Amino acid sequence: MKTRITELLGIEYPIIQAGMTFVSYLPLVVAVSEAGGLGILTCSDQTPEEVRANIRKVRELTSKPFGVNLVPYTPGYKDFCKVILEENVPVFSHGLGNPFKLLGVKKPAGMIFMPTVGSTRQAIMMEREGADAIMVHGFEGGGHVGYIATTVLLPKVAEIVKIPIVAAGGFCDGKGLVAALALGADGIAMGSRFCATVECPVDENVKKALTEAQEEDAIVSFRYDGLRLRSIPGKGLKNYRGWWSRPWEIVPSIFSMKSAFKSSYKELWEGSRELMRYKIPLMQFVCGCSKIRVTLSDGAVNNGIIPSGQVTGRLRDIPTCHDLIQRIMSEAEQVAKSVADKF
């Protein structure tokens, strides 16, 4: 299948693995890119130099294109950006704005800038600021979400912008790929679906929980990290109201996050200032983010938080990335033919 996004990114199939904090590490990224999609590396749980080493390791393990994901409130943000620019990664996946504008630098020649947007206003802004493609993240998706459903937001953005569009939020199979293409996208991005694959490095209990959950289990709440987070909270968090309801978790969470981002207290403070710009309660974010990290790595799902989209209700197996992508493409071909036969 050829679309504007496969041509732009140089990939075989219009399928992208979303850049997921505490999830999108080396094994998953390489597996997706090798399977013909686009793997995207996270900067979480690493120092800038470790990210540099992992970028080079990806290049050793695959000759296929890949990306790196970053958000402005990551401690050490400028240092991570420096590494991404110096290593001239094929695709810079970015959330919350334009990194080149934030840093006052020019985008390196040949680098593809693909920001994530959650509204038409953001899409227009990113196109004006030089985005090569945009990822449109709908309300159904996992993690931090906006207010508009993919089926409404996607066609509206497609009518307005001229650059290629990747649809995110609610996709897991060939039916979704065909639907996204019909609504104006040039490809799809999947987070929850790739989280429940053999190569994904999260704990097996997390994968099991994703394949057993129902769509209504993935809820949106400000309670966990202070942002609009769609996730599957464990049964032990039924009465959780925020960090103030568990004050004993504050200090351990601070140490946990310092360890997770391998940053200095100065870098943590700079990251927190960025959070305050978005009016995010600092303690809420630290405690929630720490709980998410521990859940994904240790698998304590009963008292944890699993970022996930509503599509979790349709996940019922744990395939390899290669088998998953092949299955999606085969189904997409069958669905497209079936739809065409109806006219």
* pLDDT of the residue at 104: 87
pLDDT band (50, 70, 90) for residue 128: very high
- Region 180-199: what's the mean pLDDT? 98
* pLDDT of the residue at 59: 97
- Region 306-325: what's the mean pLDDT? 97
CA distance 334 to 144: 33
173 or 343: which carries more pLDDT confidence? 173
62 or 1: which carries more pLDDT confidence? 62
CA distance 43 to 338: 41
For 236-288, how does the pLDDT look when each residue is reduced to its tens digit (9 = 90+)? 988 887 777 777 777 777 777 767 666 666 666 666 666 777 677 777 888 88
Q: Are 336 and 178 in contact (CB under 8 A)?
A: yes
The average confidence (pLDDT) of the chain is: 92
pLDDT band (50, 70, 90) for residue 10: very high
235 or 275: which carries more pLDDT confidence? 235
* pLDDT of the residue at 241: 79
Q: Which of 73-87, 218-232, 254-268, 303-317 has the highest mean pLDDT?
A: 303-317
* pLDDT of the residue at 287: 81
269 or 309: which carries more pLDDT confidence? 309
For 143-188, how does the pLDDT look when each residue is reduced to its tens digit (9 = 90+)? 999 999 999 999 999 999 999 999 999 999 999 999 999 999 999 9
What pTM was estimated for this model as a whole? 0.92
* pLDDT of the residue at 194: 98
For 93-115, how does the pLDDT look when each residue is reduced to its tens digit (9 = 90+)? 998 889 998 888 888 889 999 99
* pLDDT of the residue at 226: 85
Query: What domains can be seen in the chain, in order of their start residue?
Result: 4-203+315-341 (3.20.20.70), 205-310 (no CATH)
pLDDT at 43 over 80: yes
CA distance 205 to 196: 10
| C-alpha to C-alpha distances, 55 to 37, 66, 218, 260, 334, nearest whole angstrom | 17, 9, 32, 19, 36
